[in-house]
């Protein structure tokens, strides 16, 4: 199997882009990634997106965007795995290169959510859950996560305030990210007194939706010059890539407090990379809700079961901590344009590995991990990237 390198990255700010169409948004990120890579075209385009049909009245999204960015006649499809669509699109691009079918691929994610009415967006997001057995009973996505958090707090004897560091760290990191949706710091008092959404999840436990796009240019690593650097930057390769799934409905899982798909996909990625959790310098996890940060950290082996909040309380998740997370703001503060999020995560990992993360730079970052979750833990994609310095 051919190893894959990421040689270009691009992103738009996550925001309310009422002035830009879906294709314009995607194009902005893709053109930036091509310029960054020093390339003009690609053989294929894999678009991570969840809601273009429901919220933008547009399917055939691969073709729409390939056409717009001038990838004339290139292969192009949309990949959907709910909020895990972006990570799945990166996996699709990896397989296209590894199989020898393509020599240069663009994997991008785009989502345009803020033109719709809030209740439309909530209903659209619920299509990530089991339509017949969860959504049909009125369970919104925040409600499903609230049930999980409620149970977690009860079973492992935490208090709501123990989750504060996840949100505080993410917001702090976002203050230095020009692409972030909510680039401001929050205090523990603000966290504790934020408006309740679905008990125990309050406004500052939840990530904001948004409009945004992110893109990568991927090539076989053996195409890169042998000194291992591109444009004077460290070469970044994908060392581990895996996806696993779980029962779509939380009530079908043996343990609703354990992300089995995160455990399986991260173990597979560690094994491919020949690494263990100790080797990971930072972790862009899927903090759609603060409870998800705890569950991801546990399932990926960074702390024992039920102890996720401990890492935050002990100061281990900040930029200079043992396992920095959400280094550019995470879903919580960079924002969560759902189908694009998984690609934003990889873009941010590459920024760190290249040493381009500015005030948020993780010192000596060499190995970065990203994990993208679709549904309430149902579809989980894990990537491990390495800088060759």
Give bridge partners of residue 201 from the DSSP assignment.
198
Give me the least distance between CB of 118 and a copy of itself, in Å please: 18
Give me the least distance between CB of 381 and a copy of itself, in Å please: 9
Binding of a copy of itself by 269 (CB under 8 A): no
Choosing from 129, 218, 273, 299, the residue that interacts with a copy of itself (CB under 8 A) is: 129
Choosing from 35, 131, 161, 192, the residue that interacts with a copy of itself (CB under 8 A) is: 131
Binding of a copy of itself by 132 (CB under 8 A): yes
Binding of a copy of itself by 379 (CB under 8 A): yes
Q: What is the CA radius of gyration of the chain?
A: 19
Annotated catalytic residue, options 17, 83, 171, 286: 83
- CA-based nearest residue to 64, from 76, 79, 82, 81: 76
Instruction: State the virtual CA torsion across 378, 283, 296, 272 in degrees, nearest 10.
Output: 60
- Quick check: 275 and 240 in contact, CB under 8 A? yes
Give me the least distance between CB of 299 and a copy of itself, in Å please: 13
- CA-based nearest residue to 337, from 160, 136, 181: 181
- CA-based nearest residue to 92, from 111, 112, 78, 113: 78
Structure tokens of 222? 């053996």
Q: Which CB atom, from 61 or from 292, has the smaller least distance to a copy of itself?
A: 61
Q: Which stretch binds a copy of itself (CB under 8 A): 57-65, 194-202, 279-287, 329-337?
A: 57-65
Give bridge partners of residue 20 from the DSSP assignment.
none
Q: How many residues bind a copy of itself (CB under 8 A)?
A: 64
Binding of a copy of itself by 167 (CB under 8 A): no
Structure tokens of 82? 């709910």
336 is catalytic: yes
Annotated catalytic residue, options 17, 171, 336, 383: 336
Give bridge partners of residue 237 from the DSSP assignment.
5, 386
300 is catalytic: no
Choosing from 38, 100, 118, 315, the residue that interacts with a copy of itself (CB under 8 A) is: 100
Binding of a copy of itself by 76 (CB under 8 A): yes
**How many Cα atoms are found within 13 Å in the side-chain-facing hemisphere of 93?**
35
Choosing from 124, 215, 288, 357, the residue that interacts with a copy of itself (CB under 8 A) is: 124
Residue 207: which residues within 8 A CB-CB, separation 6 or more?
287, 288, 289, 330, 331, 332, 333, 335, 336
Q: Which stretch binds a copy of itself (CB under 8 A): 131-139, 178-186, 211-219, 359-367?
A: 131-139
Give the contact letters, 220-249, x = binds to a copy of itself (CB under 8 A), - = no.
Answer: ----------------------xxxxxxxx
Distance CA 238, CA 197 (A): 38
Strands, DSSP E only, in 113-152? none
Distances (CA, A) of 109 to 7, 28, 51, 61, 213: 17, 12, 11, 11, 5
Binding of a copy of itself by 95 (CB under 8 A): yes
Give me the least distance between CB of 30 and a copy of itself, in Å please: 15
Q: Which CB atom, from 286 or from 310, has the smaller least distance to a copy of itself?
A: 286
Distance CA 233, CA 132 (A): 49
Active site positions, annotated: 83, 336
Residues that bind a copy of itself (CB under 8 A): 1, 21, 23, 50-51, 53-54, 56-64, 66-67, 71, 73-82, 88, 91-92, 94-96, 98-101, 124, 126-132, 135, 242-249, 252, 260-261, 264, 374-375, 378-379
């Amino acid at each position: 199997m051919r190893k894959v390198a990421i040689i270009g990255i691009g992103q738009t700010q996550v925001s309310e882009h009422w002035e830009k169409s879906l294709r314009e948004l995607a194009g902005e990120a893709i053109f930036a990634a091509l310029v960054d890579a020093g390339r003009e075209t690609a053989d294929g385009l894999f678009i991570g997106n969840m809601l273009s049909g429901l919220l933008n009245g547009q399917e055939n999204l691969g073709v729409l965007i390939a056409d717009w960015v001038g990838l004339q006649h290139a292969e192009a499809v949309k990949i959907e795995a709910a909020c895990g669509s972006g990570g799945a699109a990166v996996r699709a691009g990896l397989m296209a290169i590894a199989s020898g079918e393509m020599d240069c691929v663009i994997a991008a994610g785009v989502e345009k959510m803020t033109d719709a009415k809030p209740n439309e967006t909530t209903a659209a997001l619920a299509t990530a859950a089991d339509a017949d057995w969860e959504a049909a009973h009125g369970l919104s996505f925040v409600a499903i996560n609230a049930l999980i958090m409620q149970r977690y707090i009860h079973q492992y004897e935490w208090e709501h305030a123990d989750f504060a560091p996840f949100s505080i760290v993410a917001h702090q990191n976002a203050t230095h990210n020009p692409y972030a949706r909510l680039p401001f710091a929050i205090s523990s008092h603000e966290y504790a007194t934020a408006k309740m959404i679905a008990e125990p999840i309050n406004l500052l436990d939840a990530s904001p939706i948004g409009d945004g796009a992110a893109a990568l240019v991927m090539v076989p690593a053996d195409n890169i010059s042998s000194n291992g650097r591109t444009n004077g930057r460290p070469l970044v390769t994908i060392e581990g890539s895996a996806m696993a799934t779980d029962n779509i409905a939380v009530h079908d899982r043996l343990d609703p407090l354990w992300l089995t798909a995160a455990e399986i996909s991260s173990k597979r990625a560690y094994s491919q990379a020949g690494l263990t959790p100790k080797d990971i310098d930072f972790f862009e996890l899927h903090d759609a809700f603060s409870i998800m940060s705890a569950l991801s950290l546990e399932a990926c082996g960074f702390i024992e079961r039920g102890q996720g909040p401990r890492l935050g309380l002990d100061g281990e998740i900040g930029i200079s901590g043992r396992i920095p997370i959400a280094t550019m703001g995470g879903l919580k503060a960079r924002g969560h344009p759902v189908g694009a999020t998984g690609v934003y995560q990889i873009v941010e990992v590459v920024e760190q590995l290249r040493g381009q993360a500015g005030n948020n730079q993780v010192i000596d970052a060499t190995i970065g991990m990203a994990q993208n979750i679709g549904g309430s833990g149902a579809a989980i994609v894990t990537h491990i990237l390495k800088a060759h310095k």
